[in-house]
Amino acid sequence: MTLVACLLGKDGLVLAADSRGTIGDPRGLTAINDSQRKLFQLTKFTGIVTYGQAELAAQMIEEIRKQVEDQELGILPILDKSRDVLRERYHDWFKNIPLESRQVLGFILGGLDSEGKPRAYYLSSPIDFAPQLVTTGVALGGVPQYATYLAHRLYNPEMTRKHLLRLAVYLISETATQDPKVGGPIRAAEISGETGYKEVDETTLNDIKEKNEQQNERLREFFFGREERT
């Protein structure tokens, strides 16, 4: 399984994903692989994260890239092309497989519209990749239960990309402490009108994760009453 996120803010958006893949029935023994890539750039102003069968999703994204590589600003043409490719490939590759036995694939497409405003859409195989506009500012896929609760408590649409990045890392790392199907190195990217799509380096992500944990420790100390004694 996995956890991927797309968070929209006042100056752009952030995409993030864990890197864990699990092999086997999650109700029993599973093997873990922490080298899965689930975050991809599509164009200068759009990116995509995926959940479900990672290798199949990666192949589909390569197909999408061929169709949209010359596009720039404006997420709607990318959305239309992406859905066309996903539907065509999925129905072609799985046409001889019963619906209940087909691999479930999910994607979150994030980017800027023609006016430079951040937008995000869900595209998933169970509903024939019909576009679902994200209206809450938060899109989560994979194992979203813990992250959904945290996002409801902590997300604010007025957040900048800097704050969104901190929150995205927090949602994934906190989920990983509770659910072993989420984990491994976190990957993230920012998208803005100024810089376009820009992936965040590993050192910065590790620093954010460490600072988030320091904040957790301060909260623990608060409930333990240490601040009252100082």
- Catalogue all structural domains in the chain, each as residue range(s) with its CATH number: 3-222 (3.60.20.10)
Q: Say if CB 187 and CB 199 are below 8 A apart.
A: yes
Q: According to the model, what pLDDT value does residue 222 have?
A: 87
* Rounded mean pLDDT, 134-163: 97
Q: In this model, does residue 66 exceed pLDDT 60?
A: yes
For the chain, what percent of residues have pLDDT higher than 70?
93
Higher pLDDT, 192 or 70: 192
- Please tell me the distance from the alpha carbon of residue 72 to that of residue 214, in angstroms, as a whole number: 39
Average pLDDT, the chain: 92
Give the pLDDT band (50/70/90) at residue 148.
very high
Q: 160 or 31, which is more confident? A: 160
Please tell me whether residue 144 adopts helix, strand or coil conformation: coil
Average pLDDT over residues 126-145: 97
Highest mean pLDDT among 25-39, 87-101, 191-205: 191-205
Range 135-142 average pLDDT: 97
For residue 182, the 8-state DSSP code is S
Tokens of 41: 């750039």
Q: How many helices and strands (H and E) does the chain possess? A: 5, 12
CB atoms within 10 A of CB 1: 17
Is residue 92 scored above 90 in pLDDT?
yes
Q: How far apart, in whole angstroms, are the C-alpha atoms of residue 117 and residue 126?
A: 28
Where do runs of H (alpha helix) occur along 31-184? 54-68, 75-93, 145-154, 161-178
Which 3 state secondary structure label does DSSP give 97? Answer: coil
CA-nearest of 107, 137, 110 to 122 is 107
DSSP letter at 215 equals: H
Average pLDDT over residues 170-174: 98
Identify the CA nearest to 51 among candidates 121, 101, 124, 2: 2
pTM here is 0.92
- The distance of Cα 12 from the centroid of its chain, to the nearest Å, equals 15
- The CA distance from 133 to 215, in Å, is 33
Let me know how long the chain is: 230
User: Is the confidence at residue 28, as pLDDT, over 70?
Assistant: no
The mean pLDDT of 112-138, rounded to a whole number, is 97
pLDDT at residue number 26: 56
